[in-house]
Amino acid sequence: MAKSSPVSPLAPKQVPVLPPIKGVTLATAEAGIKYKGRTDVMAMIFDKPAAVAGVFTKSKCPSAPVDLCRAHLPKGRAKILVVNSGNANAFTGKKGAAATKLTAEIAAKAANCDFDEVYLSSTGVIGEPLDATKFEGHIEKMVQNASPDAWLQSAQAIMTTDTFAKVATQQVEIDGKTYTVNGMAKGAGMIAPDMATMLAYIVTDAPVSAAVLQNYLTQSTETTFNAVTVDGDTSTSDTLLAFATGPADYTNPEDKKLVAFKSAFHDVLHNLAMQIIRDGEGIRKVMRIEVEGATSKAAAKKIAMSIANSPLVKTAVAGEDANWGRIVMAVGKAGEPADRDRLQIRFGDIVVARDGEREEGYSEEACAAYMKNDEIVIGVDIGLGSERFTAWGCDLTKEYVEINGDYRS
């Protein structure tokens, strides 16, 4: 097993306590999938079938659990979610599909539900067969012993190269009644949009339908999980699921009574996405890339991601070097409309280049001092339009190479 990494220096200073949500319980187990002496399976059980929505990887080589979730999603109901760490059950062929089927059958029996009310996720090494018989007995016991308070323990069970568990919560009022939105996620490497090597699960007791959840999930993903990148690599296993345990009283995403709920839902996704980027493998600094003045939203995003994913930009940030020439390079290679002589670049509030040349009066000393911060804002004004996009990335360090060089050893 890869040697463990110290907790990211950018980890949250405080971990929120997630309150119980009516209609859902959670449990963990040590199944010995890969890791020894730690939990590696999490189950989320719903008292009654919950409304469910999902967004998945855009990889053309998805894992077997992703295939299962996609097949079950049209029913819009979930009774049990089972997640394992240590093995992604991806690129495992017929054996992988058989392992997923057996796991789902075990879960359906334990939860006393239909096969298509089971949702599965797996995360870890790609290409290694998953022995689904290891779940036998464990899932049944998890269903029997599940607790409404086991949110943090469940987030810990699904960690791989993560250095801290990722949880978030919000409370919100709908028509005078208070509801909760809880979330957990895992992810630290193989992180790029569409959706990152990321698993995330959001649960609410708000009385909303699967259609409302799907609408809000799809919208929020674009500016949260699909706006972060650690290394430009998209996983085979990305899964984001949202569940609602209450009655489907609200079925229209445009209902004005849901405005506050939609905002709270987005805040939980954004919080988790930021925790993922702050746990990037070997990370020491977060980059916030603010692109404005682009000709289209798509162009702004592509330029922002070009900067965020550039190894040369990332290593410059790691070395605390305000090398704005690398920003120019990343803008130029994005392939979107840009004009060298209209470009403006800043680090924080310090403008370093304007109108195609270095800013007059630019102070390298001031910029060098700014680059010592834990969070670096890179601002780029394309000067051709009015569209903007914000992306988040991180530096690229020797530790990233060490973590991934040791991953399978």
Region of 102 (left: φ > 0; alpha: ψ -120 to 50; beta: rest) is: alpha
Are the CB atoms for 230 and 393 separated by under 8 Å?
A: yes
Cα-based angle 162, 167, 173 (whole degrees, multiple of 5): 160
Known binder of ligand: residue 25?
no
Which of 297, 279, 21, 45 has its CA nearest to residue 166? Answer: 279
Known binder of ligand: residue 22?
no
Known binder of ligand: residue 160?
yes
Known binder of ligand: residue 292?
no
Q: Which of 92, 103, 197, 239 is catalytic?
A: 197
- Which pair of structure tokens corresponds to residue 306? 């070009």
- Tokens 């059980």 appear where? 45
Q: Which SS3 state, helix, strand or coil, does residue 38 take? A: coil
Give me Rg for the CA atoms of the chain: 22
The two beta strands, 199-204 and 239-244, are: parallel
CA distance 270 to 272: 5
Is residue 197 part of the annotated active site? The answer reads: yes
Phi, psi at 81, each rounded to 5°: -120, 130
Q: Which SS3 state, helix, strand or coil, does residue 393 take? A: strand
CA distance 103 to 132: 6
List residues forming the annotated binding site for substrate. 160, 186, 197, 281, 404, 409
Active-site residue list = 197
List residues forming the annotated binding site. 160, 186, 197, 281, 404, 409
